[in-house]
Amino acid sequence: MDFFRIFRRKAKREPKALRIDGVRTPLTPQPDEAEVAAQALLETMSKGESGRNGRDGSNGANGSDGPHDAAYYRELAEIIRKNRKEEARALRRYLAYCEEQIAQPLFTDGLGDIERDLCRFQDCAEREGGELLRRWQRCLAECIVRQMTASHTEDTEQTEGTEDRSAADAAEIEQIKPN
Report the C-alpha gap between 109 and 66 in whole angstroms: 53
Q: Greater confidence, 25 or 131?
A: 131
Domain assignments of the chain as residue spans, ordered by start:
74-166
pLDDT of residue 53: 45
Q: What is the pLDDT of residues 111-146, one digit of tens each?
A: 888 888 888 989 889 998 899 999 999 999 998 888
Nearest CA to 122 out of 71, 96, 88, 98 is that of: 88
Question: pTM for this structure?
Answer: 0.54
**R_g over Cα of the chain:** 29
Report in angstroms the alpha-carbon separations of 120 from 124, 137, 169: 9, 13, 49
Model confidence band, residue 109 (pLDDT cutoffs 50, 70, 90) = confident
- Count CB atoms within 10 A of the CB of residue 135: 17
Q: What is the pLDDT of residues 12-24, one digit of tens each?
A: 677 666 666 776 6
pLDDT of residue 95: 92
Report the C-alpha gap between 136 and 118 in whole angstroms: 7
Q: What is the pLDDT of residues 41-96, one digit of tens each?
A: 777 777 765 544 444 444 444 555 557 788 888 888 888 888 889 999 999 999 99
Report the C-alpha gap between 75 and 80 in whole angstroms: 9
Q: What is the pLDDT of residues 151-169, one digit of tens each?
A: 877 777 666 655 556 666 6
Model confidence band, residue 9 (pLDDT cutoffs 50, 70, 90) = low
